Structure 1
C-alpha cells in the first residue's frame, strides 16, 4: 500500500467526456487539455466503495452480509474562491452543464 500526502497536490479539469459502459483508461485522455484548478483547500475522498447486500437467513438466525455494487462516490473539492482563476471558472461551468468532465489529480 502506498500512502500519498495531499500537500502540494494539484487538481486539473479537462473537457466534457462521452459516457462509456466500461472504466476509462489512461489512453482515453490522450490529447486532453488541462486547466489547473487553483486555491485548492481540500480534495475530499477518492476511490470506490461497495454497497452492502444483506440477507436474513431464517434457518441459521443470522444476517448474511455480501459485497454489492461498486460506487465511485463523490469527491468534494473545497477551494478558496478566485473568480479570476481559469480552472475555477471551468469548474463552475462544468457544474452547471449536464455532461461529465475529465479530471486529473497529481499527487506529490
Structure 2
C-alpha cells in the first residue's frame, strides 16, 4: 500500500499546495506559518504528527512527537511503513481540525512536553 493511500485526497492536495507555495519562501522572512492540514497518530501509543506541507515524494514538514516534540521533515513512506501489533498502522485523524498555526502548536508542545491536539 502506498503512503498516499493513508491520507485523504483533499488533504494530500492541500499539503502539496502548501509545499509549492512555501518552497520559494523557505529561509526568508516571508515563510508562511500554516495551520496543520493533517494529524497522524499511533492508535496504540506514542506517536503524533501535525503536518503542514508535503512534496510529491512524501517528504513532509511539521511537528512530530515520538517521545518529545520537534519541528522538522519526515518521510511519510517511513511513517506509514511502521507495522503495529494486530495489523494496525499509523492513521490520519479524520475528525481533527487545526485550531492554531504550526508555531503555536510547537510552542504549546514545548511547554507541555508533548503535542496537545
Shared fold, TM over 0.5: no
Structure possessing the higher radius of gyration over alpha carbons:
1
Q: Shorter-chain-normalised TM-score: which range?
A: under 0.3
Q: TM-score, normalised by structure 2?
A: 0.26
Q: TM-score, normalised by structure 1?
A: 0.27
Q: Which protein, 1 or 2, shows the higher relative CO under an 8 Å CA cutoff with sep ≥ 6?
A: 1
Q: Larger strand proportion, structure 1 or 2?
A: 1
